[in-house]
Amino acid sequence: MFSKATANLVHEIDPDGLLIHVSRVNDSHKLVPMALVIKRKRWFWQRPKYQPTDFTLSDLLLGNKELTPGVSESEFLTYKGTYGSTFDSELGPEAGSASVKLEGRGTTKLQSCFGKLKKEEVDVKKLLLDSSNRSVDMQHVLVQQLEKRAEVVALVKERIFTTSPCSITQTKVEECTFQGVLGLVGMLGSSVKVCVKDSNSIEVDSDVAMEIPSGTVIAYSILELEIKKDGQYHLCLKPGTIGGFESDSISMSLHSEDSFSAVDGKCNKQQDPQKVPLIALHNETQEKDLSPLAELPQSTRWPLFKKLQETLKDRPALSYLQLVLEDLCRNGKHNGTTKEEQASAESHTESTLNAAHLLVSALEELPDETLELLSKSCPDFLQAFNTLVCRFKKSSCNALSIQSLPALLQDNQAFQLAEQLLCSAGVKLRRDADQLWIESRDNVGVLPVVLFLSVHGLHLLCNALQ
């Protein structure tokens, strides 16, 4: 409830800016000026996740002198918002378990009254001056524990906080049905346990109020750190610049020229889609990451494909499945009888879970219209559409001869479905007597890439199953 309220506020006051909403009240006391936050990278089309730490920049640097760059405080705004929506529900996973609500109906109203808000902001110029001769302690426990150094360290540059006690209230009227076990996860590895808490239909009227104390941080912005192997570091001051650790081979840092980089994980800039071949956005590496899906037994692939198609009709269920798989990929533990068998089982299950997570994450990013079309697509059509994309990929431009059109798509009804599917992702499929080509509209973003990955993953699950 708190996370939804802060997300609504950030969406209203800074939809395309640098503010990050606070997800948990318990993180508030950690988000002081110059506090360190860990940015976890995800798939390039997803928003990164941020985890506040118990450390500040002073703790991370060599030397005993405390950094005191100065912090300015100013009035920000007064905020009150009321939001209503279709009921969005979920069941939380237990350790190693996952369950999901596949059907939900109802209404919810969320009212946030944060009152007068203030902003605190670090004096960056003074910070640069005070820390000019300092280096990062590469033996610091936080640095050592960063997973494969693929995560980014950032500091809190500014924060938005409440100045008086305030409240968040949520009213729900819901009717929902729990439809048994989430077999989707269980199908991906025999060692992944799946359970359900409740199998009954329920009707609930609830009215929940949350009192937020004065001084609660509800949003903040960050400056990322680019850290060299020798401990030298730089603050990423240029908008869009991405930080990271320097590796033994090449720097892991990404800069603003990366068209897929932004604080919220969305595209910051887009090249003219009419000037760049659309298929150049297709990602071969992540296509290979989906390949373990094709190695699943046929007895698993077909039920998994059908369950996924059912889930595409339910956005909350799909979103929750993505979160469950993300958690399992990061924290899942698997059991084996011997070390060798355990290592083999873990490797196989891990690659399968990662492939499923990639596919579900791509699907979750697609618009409702696209999901509806994919939920009705038969295996033959998905194979033909995937073949069409592969042929466009091999072409030096966005055009193919009519003869290269897959046989199924020569049928008008199937061709119209392909047109609708591409159009839902901002792409137009055109043809004349001799040629077939694709066009993308302005600011199409990464939707075509996500669509291609989604179709390829579904195709791997249902290929040769007819």
**pLDDT of 346 strictly over 60:** no
Is the same domain home to 291 and 432?
A: yes
Q: Return the exposure string of 410-425: e unless at least 16 CB atoms fall within 10 Å of the residue's CB, then b.
A: eeeebbebbbebbebb
43 belongs to a structural domain: yes
- Strand segments (E) across 57-165: 71-86, 103-122, 152-162
Q: What is the structure's pLDDT at 107? A: 56
Kindly report which listed range (252-256, 288-292, 305-309, 328-332) carries the lowest average pLDDT score.
252-256
Q: How confident is the model at residue 219 (pLDDT cuts 50, 70, 90)?
A: very high
Mean pLDDT of 118-146: 91
**pLDDT of 215 strictly over 60:** yes
188 belongs to a structural domain: yes
Is the same domain home to 346 and 212?
A: no
**pLDDT of 96 strictly over 60:** no
Q: How confident is the model at residue 427 (pLDDT cuts 50, 70, 90)?
A: confident
Q: How confident is the model at residue 116 (pLDDT cuts 50, 70, 90)?
A: confident
Identify which has the larger pLDDT, 367 or 315.
Answer: 367
pLDDT tens-digit map of 47-56: 788 999 999 9
The distance from CA 275 to its chain's CA centroid, rounded to whole angstroms, is 28
Mean pLDDT of 363-372: 91
CA dist., res. 292 & res. 282, Å (int): 19
pLDDT tens-digit map of 386-418: 998 888 887 766 678 888 888 998 888 999 999
Q: How many CA atoms lie within 13 A of 385 on its CB side?
A: 29
Is the same domain home to 302 and 233?
A: no
Q: How confident is the model at residue 188 (pLDDT cuts 50, 70, 90)?
A: low
345 belongs to a structural domain: yes
187 belongs to a structural domain: yes
Is the same domain home to 204 and 313?
A: no
Q: What is the structure's pLDDT at 332? A: 56
270 belongs to a structural domain: no
Is the same domain home to 356 and 240?
A: no
**pLDDT of 9 strictly over 70:** yes
97 belongs to a structural domain: yes
Is the same domain home to 350 and 399?
A: yes
Write out the two tokens for 29: 């006391």
Is the same domain home to 297 and 234?
A: no
Q: How confident is the model at residue 185 (pLDDT cuts 50, 70, 90)?
A: low
Q: Of 219, 245, 271, which residue sits at a domain end?
A: 245
Q: Return the exposure string of 14-45: e unless at least 16 CB atoms fall within 10 Å of the residue's CB, then b.
A: eeeebbbbbbebebbebbebbbbbbbebebbb
Kindly report which listed range (181-195, 321-335, 370-384) carries the lowest average pLDDT score.
181-195
**pLDDT of 115 strictly over 80:** yes
Contact of 325 with 317, CB cutoff 8 Å: no
**What values do phi and psi take at 83, rounded to 5?**
-130, 140
For the chain, the average pLDDT equals 75
Q: What is the structure's pLDDT at 108? A: 57
Is the same domain home to 193 and 321?
A: no
> 404 in helix, strand or coil?
helix
390 belongs to a structural domain: yes
CA dist., res. 203 & res. 107, Å (int): 12
Is the same domain home to 239 and 288?
A: no
The residue type of 449 is V
Is the same domain home to 128 and 206?
A: yes
What is the secondary structure of 114-131 as a DSSP string? EEEEEEEEE-HHHHHHHT
Cα 215 to Cα 22, 25, 57, 141, 165: the distances in Å are 13, 11, 22, 29, 8
Cα 10 to Cα 325, 338, 446, 457: the distances in Å are 27, 50, 23, 34
Write out the two tokens for 241: 């610049």
Q: How confident is the model at residue 10 (pLDDT cuts 50, 70, 90)?
A: confident
Cα 105 to Cα 86, 175, 180, 204, 208: the distances in Å are 7, 5, 17, 11, 19
258 belongs to a structural domain: no
Domain that holds residue 68: 2-245
Name the pTM for this structure: 0.61
CA dist., res. 222 & res. 57, Å (int): 12
Q: How confident is the model at residue 251 (pLDDT cuts 50, 70, 90)?
A: very low
pLDDT tens-digit map of 12-25: 888 778 899 998 88
Is the same domain home to 453 and 365?
A: yes
- DSSP strand pairing (217-227 vs 244-245): parallel
Is the same domain home to 237 and 285?
A: no
Kindly report which listed range (13-22, 53-62, 143-152, 247-256) carries the lowest average pLDDT score.
247-256
Number of domains the chain is built from: 2
